[in-house]
Amino acid sequence: MATIYDVLVIGGGPIGLACGIEAKKAGLNYIIIEKGSLTNSLYKYPANMTFFSTSERLEIGGVPFVSNNPKPTRPEALEYYRRVALKFDLDIRLFEKVEQVSGEKGNFSIQTSKTTYQARNIIIATGFYDIPNLMHIPGEDLPKVRHYYEEPHFYAMQNVIVVGANNSSVDAALETYRKGAQVTMVIRGNEIGKRVKYWVRPDIENRIAEGSIKAYFNSSLAAIRPTEADIQTPDGLITIPNDFVLAMTGYQPDFNLLERFGLTLSADEKRLPVHNPDTMESNREGIYLAGVVCGGMETHIWFIENSREHAVKIIRSIVG
Ligand SMILES: Cc1cc2nc3c(=O)[nH]c(=O)nc-3n(C[C@H](O)[C@H](O)[C@H](O)COP(=O)(O)OP(=O)(O)OC[C@H]3O[C@@H](n4cnc5c(N)ncnc54)[C@H](O)[C@@H]3O)c2cc1C
């Protein structure tokens, strides 16, 4: 007889793990399916990335997160979530992608890249880090254009354009500049983003003020070619030499997947997946939403900090 799970969690990020832990604590029969490695999004973050949250705000399952730094680093977070998953002996299947969901509450059938599962309830905790926001400009598909930044050494002695002015862009600009890249920032607004980490902001503002990083404000990248790029500035179109473009233009949830699973999205540009904020249940009975996926295009609304409570709400609702 095939196992019928009380809960099947899609996504093994921090919030998917939190859901598994709460389900286990409630004595439910659960499974977590993750298409990549454990905490796949965190694994793909820039190598030297520092969280804006302090470590205790990233804790799940009541397990203390001890960091050696005022704000934890990516390797510390990977270490922490792996230890938590092992401590709770979570039932998690890695490198297995959920492709389709059919049936109804109490009797869902979940098709993955490897097999089919049966579950009474489903939690979607798929995050937003898989699909970059595109600029839709000529040359964006060139191999030198990157939507994910890993580490700076690669860019030494290269002309690098960094698009955007939020945390990812500022981190990439400062790191590559310090490893000998000639960095030009192309920024849509008239200042560095308001959410940039407070201890990083003076650094980038001073580098721009002294001219060691060139920044074009109120500007946008217009076209990219193999050895140069066009920037639309308030003073007109300019062309500069260019080897790499780091397009740190943000990411968005997999809306296609949500719609395929029968979820309704708000009709405005926010594309919020419809859900009850008290239970986190979506428009489809028995299918719940957890973590940053809940914010639709508003990817700055939910963090680990404030969305880890989704796990408790959902399991409380399931247990009744
Ligand atoms: C650079 C960066 C820095 C951040 N810093 C902070 C911070 O300091 N503090 C904070 O609170 N938040 C931070 N966030 C925001 C947010 O908290 C994180 O994005 C966090 O990873 C969200 O957790 P999650 O579990 O909701 O989603 P994710 O961690 O993205 O997990 C979703 C998982 O679902 C998997 N998945 C997707 N589709 C499928 C499928 N079809 N089948 C199976 N698995 C699937 C993905 O592979 C992924 O592992 C940061 C985000 C970014 C991008």
Q: What is the pLDDT of residue 319?
A: 97
Which amino acid would we find at residue 60? Answer: I
| Cβ contacts of 102-108, under 8 Å, gap ≥ 24 | 104/285, 104/286, 105/285, 105/286, 105/287, 106/286, 108/8, 108/286, 108/287
191-222 pLDDT tens trace: 999 999 999 999 999 999 999 999 999 999 99
* Nearest Cα to Cα of residue 92 among 35, 43, 44: 35
225-242 pLDDT tens trace: 999 999 999 999 999 999
What share of the chain has pLDDT > 70, as a percent? Answer: 100
Residue 38 has phi, psi (to 5 degrees) of -55, 135
Tell me what the pLDDT averaged over the chain comes to: 97
Question: Which ligand 1 atom is the nearest neighbour of the CA of 167?
Answer: 1
Question: Which ligand 1 atom is the nearest neighbour of the CA of 43?
Answer: 49
CATH classification of 4-131+251-319 is 3.50.50.60, yes or no?
Answer: yes
Q: What is the pLDDT of residue 168?
A: 96
Question: Which ligand 1 atom is the nearest neighbour of the CA of 36?
Answer: 47
Q: What is the CA radius of gyration of the chain?
A: 21
CA distance 273 to 293: 8
Q: What is the pLDDT of residue 10?
A: 98
CA distance 314 to 7: 10
Q: Where are the domains of the chain?
A: 4-131+251-319, 134-247
96-123 pLDDT tens trace: 999 999 999 999 999 999 999 999 999 9
Residue with tokens 């955007």: 164
Number of C-beta neighbours around residue 8 at 10 A: 25
Gap from CA of 234 to ligand 1 centroid (Å): 36
Q: What is the pLDDT of residue 2?
A: 81
* pLDDT exceeds 70 at position 299: yes
Gap from CA of 211 to ligand 1 centroid (Å): 35
Ligand 1 pocket mutation pick from 304, 305, 306 by most atoms within 8 angstroms of CB: 304
Q: What is the pLDDT of residue 217?
A: 98
Q: What angle do CA 47, 289, 311 make, to 5 degrees?
A: 75
CATH class of residue range 134-247:
alpha beta
CA distance 86 to 111: 26
Q: Which protein residues are within 6 Å of ligand 1, measured from CB?
A: 10-16, 33-36, 40-42, 45, 49, 51-53, 97-98, 125-127, 129-130, 168, 257, 291-292, 303-305, 307
Q: How many CA atoms lie within 13 A of 312 on its CB side?
A: 7
135-163 pLDDT tens trace: 999 999 999 999 999 999 999 999 999 99
Q: What is the pLDDT of residue 1?
A: 67
Would you say the pTM of this structure is higher than 0.85? yes
7-59 pLDDT tens trace: 999 999 999 999 999 999 999 999 999 999 999 999 999 999 999 999 999 99
Question: Which ligand 1 atom is the nearest neighbour of the CA of 292?
Answer: 26
